[in-house]
Amino acid sequence: MKVIRHDIVLVGGGGAGLRAAIAAVEVSPETTVCCVSKLYPMRSHTVSAEGGAAAVAGSDDNLDLHAYDTLKGSDFLADQDAVEQFVQEAPGELTQLEHWGCPWSREPDGRVAVRAFGGMSVKRTWFAADKTGFHMLHALFQTSMKYDRIVRLDEFFATKLLVDNGRVCGVAALDIRTGEVTAVLGRAVILCTGGAGQVFPFTTNAAVKTGDGMALAYREGVPLKDMEFVQYHPTGLPGTGILITEASRGEGGHLYNNEGERFLVTHDYGVGNKAELGPRDMLSRAIMREMEAGRAFDGSYGKYVHLDLRHLGEKKIDEKLPFVRELARNFVGVDPVHEPIPVRPVVHYMMGGVDTDITGATPMPGLYAAGEVAAVSINGANRLGSNSLTECLVFGRRAGEAAVRFAGDCADGDERVLVDQAEAEHGRMDALRNKVGGEQIAVIRREMQASMESGCGVFRDQGSMDATVAALRQLKGRYADIGLSDRSKVFNTEIVQAMELRNMLDVAEAVAQTAAVRTESRGAHTRTDYPTRDDSQFLKHSLVNFSPQGPEIGYRDVTLTRWTPEERKY
């Protein structure tokens, strides 16, 4: 068994992971970080973020306003101490990215420009045209190359946390190139594995967003928080689910139904004069209501509405939204300069994740998490667009620094114990690769996704959620009987898919079960049988713990500091 030892083990090389890695080596001149990533870091899904990253910039803005917008967007489920910390550190982090070469779009005088975004009361979203995540990720990745103390294991798949006496001291990682398992040991582990949109059939998320980090932590007894809150983005392309960024509305785009009405203005969907710049949960519901009322268009992939950018003109579209134009032309054959874009709600983001405090620490000693895999929580029941790229930076750095502090204060774990666990993983991989069985990975995955859409979609009710819970139980049983056909070790992507499916089934179950017992509507969790918010019972985070019998669910009060929860009306 190959054993690699570093101070800190990082799983994930997206925005959050790379920020954590750089923070760790910058804060401590000797620390070494080993970055385990199933993709080359610059392929991470942060690359696809389009619209921008939020932080107070202009003289018309202030930290309290950013905090208030975020809390209101979250339907008051975000922790107020975390949000305060977040908005305070956000401008410095985006400036830091500027110093590292991120090509932010500029004002004529050379200052960084900002744009409007949904649920934000003033312009505070920094952007690099409409390829913000791409530029941020490449700037971070290229900057990380400066440090020889950041050691990468590219295309290594983390399969298990290695735990000694309740403390995490590394991960077992499958080298996809060779099929061998390596024990990657360290005194602290940071999970930055991103979200889990792939548990749904129709999503903006890449194939690799399978909730691995959530499942890894969950199976070792770390609770997942607020898993019932899944964000639907209002404007995805039908068929592929490719995202058309909110920046297109931030720059002035409008939504129309099949009667030519700007329905967010002509009907009362609670967004007031914010109209197209209302928060995502409300806009997604409004579009679904339009569909139900027969006011949507019919296409080969079901119903859709129109996003019209034509009045912005070719010059502005090319300058501010070139990627939107490229995507719409390539994937639906529509040039937004001349025609409206067909759009519909699409699964986009997991508000929930591994339970952490504001330093990124989870309840398990030595284990940290940041980025979409984590729930600090600044997003509560509904994330505001452009807060999550910033979240990756703010809490990536915090987790990196906290992990260094933790690692400095403790001894190495017991190598024998840890390597034994990795050996067992190796055996498990060999068995899985050679597994014979009657069930197919792709079929179980498809049924899981369909069941999540029918039970945990934009609108939910007890009956449909209970049916999904039951279906998932049954799919987990069937998973035990999957068969694999690829017996080779070198770049075997079938075994990777098998492990991802297991992770997704655990995550899906956590989503469905927490959703089924939250008998209220809040943010993205909208129940037709309990249509109102219930602060007396549910101003609380859900926490779900793994047990062999099935998920165990508990609750924790939301942290309030200076803002009293109020009705969410715009």
Ligand X SMILES: Cc1cc2nc3c(=O)[nH]c(=O)nc-3n(C[C@H](O)[C@H](O)[C@H](O)COP(=O)(O)OP(=O)(O)OC[C@H]3O[C@@H](n4cnc5c(N)ncnc54)[C@H](O)[C@@H]3O)c2cc1C
- Residue 132 engages ligand X in binding (rule: CB under 6 A): yes
The CB-of-8 to other proteins minimum distance in angstroms stands at 21
In the region spanning residues 122 to 181, those forming contacts with other proteins, defined by CB under 8 A, are 131, 134-135, 138, 142-143, 145-146, 154, 177
The CB-of-333 to other proteins minimum distance in angstroms stands at 9
Q: 103: helix, coil or strand? A: coil
Do 172 and 159 form a contact (C-beta atoms < 8 A)? yes
Among 388, 468, 492, 514, binds ligand X (CB under 6 A): 388
- Residue 2 engages other proteins in binding (rule: CB under 8 A): no
Among 239, 252, 270, 565, binds other proteins (CB under 8 A): 239
- Known catalytic membership, residue 43: no
Closer residue to ligand X in complex, CB, 352/371: 371
**What residue type is 530 in one-letter code?**
Y
DSSP 550: S
Count of alpha carbons within 13 Å of 44, Cβ hemisphere only? 31
Of 383, 394, 350, 498, the residue nearest 437 (C-alpha): 498
Distance, CA of 139 to CA of 100 (rounded, Å): 6
Distance, CA of 77 to CA of 85 (rounded, Å): 16
Closer residue to other proteins in complex, CB, 494/535: 494
CA distances from 212 to 117, 194, 218, 400, 507 (A): 30, 8, 10, 20, 9
- Residue 257 engages ligand X in binding (rule: CB under 6 A): no
Of 345, 401, 358, 355, the residue nearest 375 (C-alpha): 355
Q: What are phi and psi of 320, to 5 degrees?
A: -100, -25
Question: Candidates 103-111, 383-391, 419-427, 543-551 — which segment interacts with other proteins by CB under 8 A?
Answer: 103-111
The angle, 0 to 180 degrees and rounded to 10, between the axes of the packed helices 493-517 and 212-219 is: 70
**Binding track over 303-332 against other proteins, x by CB under 8 A:** --------------------x--xx--xx-
Closer residue to other proteins in complex, CB, 375/392: 392
Among 109, 268, 409, 557, binds other proteins (CB under 8 A): 109
- Residue 337 engages other proteins in binding (rule: CB under 8 A): no
Q: What are phi and psi of 151, to 5 degrees?
A: -105, 130
Among 80, 193, 382, 526, binds ligand X (CB under 6 A): 193
Buried residues in 426-449 as b, exposed as e (16+ CB within 10 A) = beebeebbebeeeeebeebbebbb
Tokens of 385: 């667009």
Do 212 and 497 form a contact (C-beta atoms < 8 A)? no
Which segments of 218-310 are extended strands (E)?
224-225, 230-236, 254-256, 297-299, 302-308
Among 10, 22, 36, 465, binds ligand X (CB under 6 A): 36
The CB-of-192 to ligand X minimum distance in angstroms stands at 5
- Known catalytic membership, residue 249: yes
- Residue 158 engages ligand X in binding (rule: CB under 6 A): yes
The CB-of-492 to other proteins minimum distance in angstroms stands at 7
Q: Which residues contact 376 (CB under 8 A, 6 or more apart)?
A: 79, 82, 86, 356, 357, 358, 360, 391, 395
- Residue 238 engages ligand X in binding (rule: CB under 6 A): no
Count of residues that bind other proteins according to CB under 8 A: 62
Closer residue to ligand X in complex, CB, 14/366: 14
Q: Which of 233, 254, 383, 525 is catalytic?
A: 233
- Residue 118 engages ligand X in binding (rule: CB under 6 A): no
Among 99, 311, 315, 416, binds other proteins (CB under 8 A): 99
Strand-by-strand arrangement of the 156-164 sheet: 2-5, 181-185, 167-175, 156-164
In the region spanning residues 354 to 383, those forming contacts with ligand X, defined by CB under 6 A, are 371-373
Do 369 and 354 form a contact (C-beta atoms < 8 A)? yes
- Residue 434 engages other proteins in binding (rule: CB under 8 A): no
**Interaction partner, residue 239 (ligand X, other proteins, none; CB < 5-8 Å by kind):** other proteins
Among 173, 441, 458, 471, binds other proteins (CB under 8 A): 441
Closer residue to ligand X in complex, CB, 458/465: 458
Count of alpha carbons within 13 Å of 470, Cβ hemisphere only? 6
Distance, CA of 369 to CA of 379 (rounded, Å): 15
Query: With helix as H, strand as E and coil as C, how does 434-471 read?
Result: CCCCCECHHHHHHHHHHHHHHHCCCEECHHHHHHHHHH
State the residues that interact with other proteins by CB under 8 A: 39-40, 42-45, 47-48, 92, 95-96, 98-101, 103-112, 131, 134-135, 138, 142-143, 145-146, 154, 177, 206-208, 239-240, 242-243, 300-301, 323, 326-327, 330-331, 441-442, 484-494
State the residues that interact with ligand X by CB under 6 A: 11-17, 36-39, 41, 44-46, 48-53, 132-133, 157-158, 192-195, 204-205, 208-209, 212-213, 243, 245, 348-349, 371-373, 385-389, 392
Point out the residues that are catalytic.
233, 249
